């Protein structure tokens, strides 16, 4: 009997390969079951369109893309646990913002908030600022509300809610993952310079968007 | 023997990928029991809900997984037997909430006691078991169809919780927590969508 499994403590002996296989099996099964929507009794032409629409929405604007990628880069700079907590926080809070946008709750200054997110996140990456995890989560969450609200308010009727939200979340996560992958180069001296340039570019882009929003 | 070894059990997941069905109710041709089991797979929101809760329970402890297994199944069957059929928008919102709650627990890796998992499983199972009586959808035949659905829920929950129980590396726990946050985000967006467009 593996006491470690029952109490949740780390086992005394190395983890057998069968546990890795179990984890793989879990992920593979989950992936397969993700195809369950194929078995809908009524296949409507809108379902595939809903998924693609959701997939396309987070990448529909450069202002969104810059901020999402920058969250991943900053998380990589901060290292664990921020590395994975920030990409958990952002989609979750963004979905809340999307919910508010969908039900029609107004949020003033959405475009300004989105532009400011690029400016601030780009600045944090440029200066390699390290903040306490709760503060980082608060900051990222605050910006995520604006991004989510903008997406939610732009949605049009028609299509399947689940397919759309699945595509939306996948695209958001993919952009975070891109940012994390880019951010991992901070381990090397040349990588740190690359990231500072990237941060400067994001900051500049945010400045342009802010100017557009104010004019 | 070598051929059997190459055909590893992990590739059996390919059998889980369903084909399209073109009927109001899944008709497997094997009878009402199997129709009820197949019907579980026709609702992706419910599948996601089961996976999220079973994974969470498995990550907590063996006791939590055990309680979740039986309470989820029992709640599902009870929900189907109660037969209360809310309107389609209300059903969709309840379904989204039934996904949101376990997904949030999974994302937060909340320290819930086994009895707490049992309560959540009962609620989630009951909500998901409520029959879908939207236009054109035939109810599950009683009692074989409902028993089949219960059996499918039992098997899915058992397999998922067992796999989660075997995970010890923190890296995999992180991956599952990220998945939980994505599922929670899906639940929130799906609920907002229903409120806005129905």
pLDDT of residue A4: 41
CA A136 from centroid of its chain's CA atoms = 14
Please state the rounded mean pLDDT for residues B111-139: 83
The two structure tokens encoding residue A27 = 């992920």
Q: Where are the beta strands (DSSP E) in A54-165?
A: none
pLDDT of residue B138: 64
Question: CB under 8 Å to A115, separation ≥6 — which residues?
Answer: A63, A206, A207, A209, A210, A212, A213
Alpha-carbon distance A68 to B126, whole Å?
Answer: 37
- Chain A residues touching B24 at Cβ < 8 A: 41
pLDDT of residue A166: 81
Alpha-carbon distance B124 to A145, whole Å?
Answer: 28
Asked if pLDDT for residue B195 goes beyond 60, the answer is yes
pLDDT of residue B137: 60
Q: How much is the mean pLDDT over chain B? A: 82
Least trusted range by pLDDT, from A2-6, B123-127, B194-198: A2-6
Alpha-carbon distance B88 to A125, whole Å?
Answer: 47
pLDDT of residue B5: 55
- Give the other-Cβ count within 10 Å of A4's Cβ: 14
Asked if pLDDT for residue B100 goes beyond 80, the answer is yes
Please state the rounded mean pLDDT for residues B160-166: 93
Which residue carries 């107004």 as its tokens? A106
Helix intervals (H) in chain B:
2-6, 32-40, 44-60, 62-82, 88-108, 114-129, 144-165, 170-197
Best B39, B52, B168 member to test A by mutation, with max A CBs in 10 Å, is B168
Best A30, A71, A105, A137 member to test B by mutation, with max B CBs in 10 Å, is A30
Over chain A (215 residues), the average pLDDT of each successive run of 10 is 43 54 56 45 49 83 90 91 89 91 89 92 92 93 92 73 80 90 89 91 92 87
Please state the rounded mean pLDDT for residues B68-86: 86
Q: Which 17-76 residues of chain A touch chain B by CB within 8 A?
A: 18-19, 21-41, 43
- CB–CB of B16 and A84 under 8 A? no
CB contact A7 to B (< 8 Å)? yes
- Chain A residues touching B190 at Cβ < 8 A: 161-162, 165
Which residue carries 């028993």 as its tokens? B147
Asked if pLDDT for residue B98 goes beyond 70, the answer is yes
- CB–CB of B42 and A161 under 8 A? no
Which of the pair, B103 or A45, is modelled with greater confidence? B103
Q: Which of A17, A6, A142 is nearest to A71 (CA)?
A: A142
Which of the pair, B125 or B42, is modelled with greater confidence? B125
Q: What value of ipTM does the predicted structure carry?
A: 0.71
- Asked if residue A199 lies in contact with residue A94, where contact means CB atoms within 8 angstroms, the answer is no
Give the gap in angstroms from C-alpha B36 to the nearest C-alpha of chain A. Answer: 14
Cis peptide before A81 (omega within 30 of 0): yes
- CB–CB of A98 and B9 under 8 A? no
- Chain B residues touching A147 at Cβ < 8 A: none
- What confidence category does residue B134 fall into, taking pLDDT thresholds of 50, 70 and 90? low
Alpha-carbon distance A102 to A148, whole Å?
Answer: 10
**DSSP string covering A161-175:** HHHHHHHHHHHHHHH
pTM: 0.75
- CB–CB of A39 and B169 under 8 A? no
Q: Tell me which chain A residue has its CA closest to the CA of residue B162.
A: A22
The two structure tokens encoding residue A22 = 């179990």
Which stretch, A13-27, B23-37, B71-85, has highest mean pLDDT? B71-85
What dihedral angle (degrees, nearest 10) is formed by the CA atoms of A43, B149, B85, A49?
-20
- Asked if residue B89 lies in contact with residue B25, where contact means CB atoms within 8 angstroms, the answer is no
């Amino acid at each position: 009997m593996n006491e470690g499994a029952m109490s949740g403590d780390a086992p005394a002996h190395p983890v057998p390969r069968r546990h890795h296989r179990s984890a793989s099996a879990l992920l593979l099964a989950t992936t397969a079951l993700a195809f369950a929507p194929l078995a809908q009794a009524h296949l409507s032409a809108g379902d595939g369109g809903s998924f693609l629409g959701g997939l396309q929405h987070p990448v529909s604007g450069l202002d969104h893309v810059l901020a999402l990628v920058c969250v991943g880069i900053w998380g990589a700079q901060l290292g664990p646990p921020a590395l994975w907590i920030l990409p958990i926080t952002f989609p979750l809070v963004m979905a809340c913002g999307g919910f508010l946008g969908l039900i029609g709750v107004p949020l003033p200054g959405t475009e300004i908030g989105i532009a400011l997110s690029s400016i601030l996140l780009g600045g944090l990456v440029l200066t390699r600022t390290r903040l306490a995890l709760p503060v980082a989560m608060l900051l990222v969450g605050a910006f995520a509300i604006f991004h989510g609200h903008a997406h939610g308010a732009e949605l049009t009727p028609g299509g399947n809610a689940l397919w759309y939200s699945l595509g939306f979340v996948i695209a958001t996560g993919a952009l975070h993952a891109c940012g994390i992958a880019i951010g991992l180069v901070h381990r090397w001296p040349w990588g740190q310079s690359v990231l500072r340039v990237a941060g400067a570019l994001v900051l500049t882009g945010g400045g342009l968007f802010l100017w557009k929003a104010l004019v | 023997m070598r051929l059997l070894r190459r055909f590893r059990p992990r590739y059996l997941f390919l059998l889980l990928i369903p084909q399209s069905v073109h009927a109001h109710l899944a008709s497997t041709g094997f009878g009402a029991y199997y129709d009820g089991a197949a019907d579980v797979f026709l609702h992706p929101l419910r599948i996601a809900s089961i996976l999220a809760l079973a994974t969470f329970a498995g990550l907590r402890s063996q006791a939590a997984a055990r309680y979740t297994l039986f309470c989820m199944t029992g709640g599902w069957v009870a929900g189907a037997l109660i037969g209360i059929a809310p309107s389609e928008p209300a059903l969709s919102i309840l379904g989204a909430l039934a996904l949101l709650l376990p997904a949030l627990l999974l994302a937060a890796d909340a320290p819930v006691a086994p009895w707490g998992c049992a309560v959540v499983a009962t609620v989630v199972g009951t909500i998901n078991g409520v029959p879908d009586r939207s236009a054109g959808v035939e109810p599950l035949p009683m009692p074989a169809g409902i028993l089949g659905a219960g059996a499918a829920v039992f098997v899915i929950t058992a397999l998922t919780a067992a796999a989660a129980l075997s995970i010890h590396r923190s890296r995999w726990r992180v991956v599952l927590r990220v998945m939980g946050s994505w599922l929670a985000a899906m639940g929130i967006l799906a609920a907002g969508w229903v409120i806005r467009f129905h």
